[in-house]
Amino acid sequence: MNVTECLKTRRSIRRFKADPVDHSIIDSVVSSASYSPSWKNTQITRYIAVETPSLLSEIAEECVPDFNAKIIRQAPLLMAVTFVKGRCGYERDGSFSTKKGDRWRMFDAGISCQSFCLSAWDHGLGTVIMGIFDEDRISGLLGIPEDQELAALIAVGYPDINPGAPAKKAVKELLQYR
Ligand SMILES: Cc1cc2nc3c(=O)[nH]c(=O)nc-3n(C[C@H](O)[C@H](O)[C@H](O)COP(=O)(O)O)c2cc1C
């Protein structure tokens, strides 16, 4: 699959087959995502692959709204994407490099998430990024260290649905030349 095809055919997948996902495939997807650009090549993104049924059900039942619980209940794997704090957006002397302060860290985590989802799709895996969750409870459940912060959850599995693309804006609405 070429990049354009991958970008245009990836969809957020919210229903999965029960089939487990091989660790070798997840390793390969994370390896591809590690080639994402990052602030001064700081590579702050980290991944926790959650597959233990008791952990998955605790997250589904107690840490997310019902619309995300429905997804997590039938996903074989949930990727918790974190980033290392205190590196991205800073100068060596500890001051912020730009007016955006440390917001670049979510930018970098977002790039990693997109790379992860595209590489997963290239392996036939469906994904959906989820941004609505109880950050403190999940951080506690997964033992996310103090120097990291949970950025997003990504449900991962073989798609059991083939949704069409939602409406996307036309280029003329998105792009200006000056
Ligand atoms: C930062 C972010 C947060 C999101 N949070 C959720 C979420 O909590 N639950 C959900 O079902 N989808 C979530 N999505 C998926 C979007 O709804 C989806 O990408 C959008 O509707 C476009 O559909 P597509 O990915 O198939 O193009 C999120 C996507 C992003 C990028």
Q: What's the pLDDT tens digit per position in 112-122?
A: 999 999 999 99
Mutate to test the pocket of ligand 1, among 12, 68, 117, 156 (most ligand atoms within 8 A of CB): 12
Position 41 scores a pLDDT of: 97
Residue whose CA lies nearest to ligand 1 atom number 19: 12
Please give all residues whose beta carbon lies within 6 A of any atom in ligand 1, as ranges: 11-12, 14, 67-68, 128-132, 166
Select from 3.40.50.1820, 3.40.50.170, 3.40.109.10, 2.60.220.30 the CATH code of 3-161: 3.40.109.10
| Of 68, 44, 67, the residue nearest 56 (C-alpha) | 68
Cβ pair 105, 83 in contact under 8 A: yes
Asked whether 120 and 1 are in contact (CB, 8 A), the reply is: no
Give the confidence band of 47 by pLDDT, cuts at 50, 70, 90.
very high
Pocket probe for ligand 1: among 67, 108, 130, the residue whose CB has the most ligand atoms within 8 Å is: 130
Q: How far is the CA of 164 from the centre of ligand 1 (A)?
A: 14
pLDDT of residue 97: 95
- pLDDT tens digits, residue range 84-117? 999 999 998 999 999 999 999 999 999 999 999 9
Q: Sorting pLDDT into bands at 50, 70 and 90, what band is 168?
A: very high
- What is this structure's pTM? 0.97
The distance from CA 143 to its chain's CA centroid, rounded to whole angstroms, is 18
Could you tell me which residues come within 8 angstroms of residue 136 by beta carbon, excluding any fewer than 6 positions away?
none
Residue having the nearest C-alpha atom to atom 31 of ligand 1: 129
What pLDDT does residue 153 have? 98
Residue 47, Cα to own-chain centre: how many angstroms?
A: 9
Average pLDDT over residues 25-38: 98
CA 142, 145, 150, 153 torsion-angle sign? negative
Tell me the two tokens of residue 123. 């392996």
pLDDT at 64: 98
- Residue in 87, 102, 75 with CA at minimum distance from that of residue 42: 87
> Which of the four pLDDT bands, split at 50, 70 and 90, describes residue 5?
very high
Q: Specify the residue with its C-alpha closest to ligand 1, atom 13.
A: 130
